[in-house]
Chains A and B, each alone.
Chain A
Amino acid sequence: MSVCYKQHPELRLTEVEGEGVVLHLGTRRYFSVTESGLILLQALETPRTFDELVAALLEEYEVSEAEAANSAREFIDKCLESKLLLEEE
């Protein structure tokens, strides 16, 4: 069974100038995210697999699958570290 990721329920998102600002109500911290990061976080309102996130990036940007996979992996790792995402089987 593949791992799914989803937004932490205590996140609140907003968009400005194509980028995102994310509030974590639990840790009371806020973060800025890039345009692609915002796309991924919005997609993660519902649980997504890694492959689905890569597909979401490929739909928006003219990049190779390898580049999209690298971006998605890097973003997920940072978000997990900051407790912005939950991981589930």
Chain B
Amino acid sequence: MMRTPISVTCDDASVREKLEAWVRRCGIVPPNKLSFRVMIGSPDTHKGSRRVFRQPAVEIRSGPPDCGVHISWVTAPAIASIPGGSSEASVVLSPTATSMMGTCVETFLITVLIFLLRRAGWHHVHGATARDPQGRGWLIAGDARAGKSTTAALLASRGWPVGTDDTAFLVDDDERVSVKACHGPIALRKGGYTLLGRNVGELLQRRQKMAVWPEDLGATWLPSVEPDMLLFTTVGDRVSKAEPIGAREALTELVRWSAWVVLEPELAQEHLDLLTKLAKQAQGYRVTLGRDLFDHPNRLAELIP
């Protein structure tokens, strides 16, 4: 069995096996050991630290007394704490949470993993990754409505290696910044899935999206890429457009899509420095994604010379 530096301990063998399978599937190999210590029980509510972020189904608290992060799942009782400086996440899952492990992993535990990976110098950015036929690395950053998943699926369907449609991690590889991808299915909304015109994937009931693996679209998985291109996308109407931007503008966009940069003071500068290095390393573009891409996905590569 393949070993991963992310270990899982849990007295419940069934939960442990599911979590280990998920961690292996993610394909993430950080440079130092990280761990999930999972207990099944009744989670206490977090006290003391202030709520700093609320995203769908997940609440994040941070700050004194321990300066770590505390993550709560809203869908079913579950909490996680990562104290400042620690490389272990203490997780308490209620029996209700364990009865819906697929959703728990997809929304709650992935957030815990994102914060745990910060302790290994891997900093999250909302971005899709791909490599174009010329061998150039692409990072496509933006929010949930920016067209990242549809673009990743389109590029995968044309045989471009694709890493992720959203969960990417910036890593300092000395000379360059590389972006590691969490291996998972691309989550497509109904419109994008229909236009893609492929009869593959499975329905994610709760999110009303179709989950399609890049491999099912003919792509190979790309675990790591050194971005040469940064695309900040919005979804437009008919015709796609791209406009180059400078490094400072690219940096402010990266900060926007790498929201955890403002949490945990001892890690914030390292995270900001990585974003800066990436903004200097790659050429940024502001891109409007049009419907023309469904007929001509390679038009994106033509727009980015």
Binding site for B on A (CB under 8 A): 10, 12, 14-17, 19, 21, 23-25, 28, 30, 32
**Within the complex, which residue of B52, B263, B268, B276 is in contact with A16, where a contact is CB–CB below 8 Å?**
B276
Q: Are A16 and B247 also in contact (CB < 8 A) when A23-B262, A25-B265, A28-B262 are?
A: yes
The distance from the CB of A3 to the nearest CB of chain B, in whole angstroms, is 26
Give the residues in chain A near B248, CB-CB below 8 Å.
Answer: 16-17, 19, 21, 32
Q: Are A30 and B255 in contact (CB under 8 A)?
A: yes
How far is it, in angstroms, between the C-alpha of A10 and the C-alpha of B255 when the chains are bound?
Answer: 16
List CB contacts (< 8 Å) of B243-278 with chain A.
246-248, 251-252, 255, 261-263, 265, 268-269, 272-273, 275-276
Q: Are B268 and A21 in contact (CB under 8 A)?
A: no
**Within the complex, which residue of A10, A14, A28, A32 is in contact with B265, where a contact is CB–CB below 8 Å?**
A10
Binding site for A on B (CB under 8 A): 52, 246-248, 251-252, 255, 261-263, 265, 268-269, 272-273, 275-276, 279-280
Give the residues in chain B near A28, CB-CB below 8 Å.
Answer: 52, 262
Q: Are A12 and B246 also in contact (CB < 8 A) when A21-B255, A28-B262 are?
A: no
How far is it, in angstroms, between the C-alpha of A23 and the C-alpha of B247 when the chains are bound?
Answer: 17
How far is it, in angstroms, between the C-alpha of A22 and the C-alpha of B38 when the chains are bound?
Answer: 38
**Within the complex, which residue of B246, B268, B279, B280 is in contact with A23, where a contact is CB–CB below 8 Å?**
B268
Q: Are B268 and A12 in contact (CB under 8 A)?
A: yes
Q: Are A16 and B269 in contact (CB under 8 A)?
A: no
Q: Are B279 and A25 in contact (CB under 8 A)?
A: no
The chain A residue sitting closest to B265, CB to CB, is A25
Q: Are A14 and B247 in contact (CB under 8 A)?
A: no
Q: Are B52 and A14 in contact (CB under 8 A)?
A: no
Give the residues in chain B near A14, CB-CB below 8 Å.
Answer: 251, 272-273, 275-276
If A10-B265, A16-B280 are given as contacts, then 12 extra A-B residue pairs at C-beta distance below 8 Å, sorted by A number, are A12-B268, A12-B269, A16-B276, A17-B247, A17-B248, A21-B251, A23-B262, A23-B268, A25-B262, A28-B52, A28-B262, A30-B252
Give the residues in chain A near B262, CB-CB below 8 Å.
Answer: 23-25, 28, 30
How far is it, in angstroms, between the C-alpha of A19 and the C-alpha of B279 when the chains are bound?
Answer: 13
Give the residues in chain B near A10, CB-CB below 8 Å.
Answer: 265
Give the residues in chain A near B275, CB-CB below 8 Å.
Answer: 14
How far is it, in angstroms, between the C-alpha of A32 and the C-alpha of B255 when the chains are bound?
Answer: 11
How far is it, in angstroms, between the C-alpha of A16 and the C-alpha of B276 when the chains are bound?
Answer: 7
How far is it, in angstroms, between the C-alpha of A10 and the C-alpha of B272 when the chains are bound?
Answer: 13
The distance from the CB of A13 to the nearest CB of chain B, in whole angstroms, is 8
The distance from the CB of B28 to the nearest CB of chain A, in whole angstroms, is 26
The chain B residue sitting closest to A31, CB to CB, is B252
How far is it, in angstroms, between the C-alpha of A24 and the C-alpha of B265 when the chains are bound?
Answer: 10
The distance from the CB of A22 to the nearest CB of chain B, in whole angstroms, is 10
How far is it, in angstroms, between the C-alpha of A19 and the C-alpha of B248 when the chains are bound?
Answer: 7
Q: Are B272 and A12 in contact (CB under 8 A)?
A: yes
Q: Are B255 and A23 in contact (CB under 8 A)?
A: yes
Q: Are A15 and B276 also in contact (CB < 8 A) when A25-B262, A28-B52 are?
A: yes
